[in-house]
Amino acid sequence: MSHDPNCLFCKIVAGQIPSKKAYEDEDILAFHDIHPWAPVHVLIIPKRHITSMVDVGPDDAALLGKMMAVSPRLMKELGVTNGYRHVINTGRDGLQEVMHLHMHVMGGPRPWLKG
């Protein structure tokens, strides 16, 4: 499994930085965002270091599918009942702040939009 020793999310996967986990299996980790934009805001990340969507290839299809497929169950478990949003920022111009592929899943009662 690829790991970047300087990557914040790789350090979370390795247990070097604490997180409030929402889901974990052998391939992915979901944890609550420390600066949420919504009442429920989790990040779903691959445990293997992938810098961004630019680095995703055909061999990553099952992994990305798993990230998407776990989100409905996770949102239901976290009490989100009226819809949610998926966001994947890619690269600096795409507003990606941590250079480890991650998917934001946000839901809960509105208003929670940020300007």
By annotation, the residues acting in catalysis are 102
Rounded (to 5) percent helix, strand, coil in the chain: 25, 20, 55
Helix, strand or coil for residue 28?
strand
**Buried-exposed string 75-105: b where 16+ CB fall within 10 A, e elsewhere:** beebebeeebeeebbeeeeeebebbbbbbbb
* Three-state DSSP state, 27: coil
Query: Which amino acid, one-letter code, is at 2?
Result: S
DSSP class of residue 53?
G
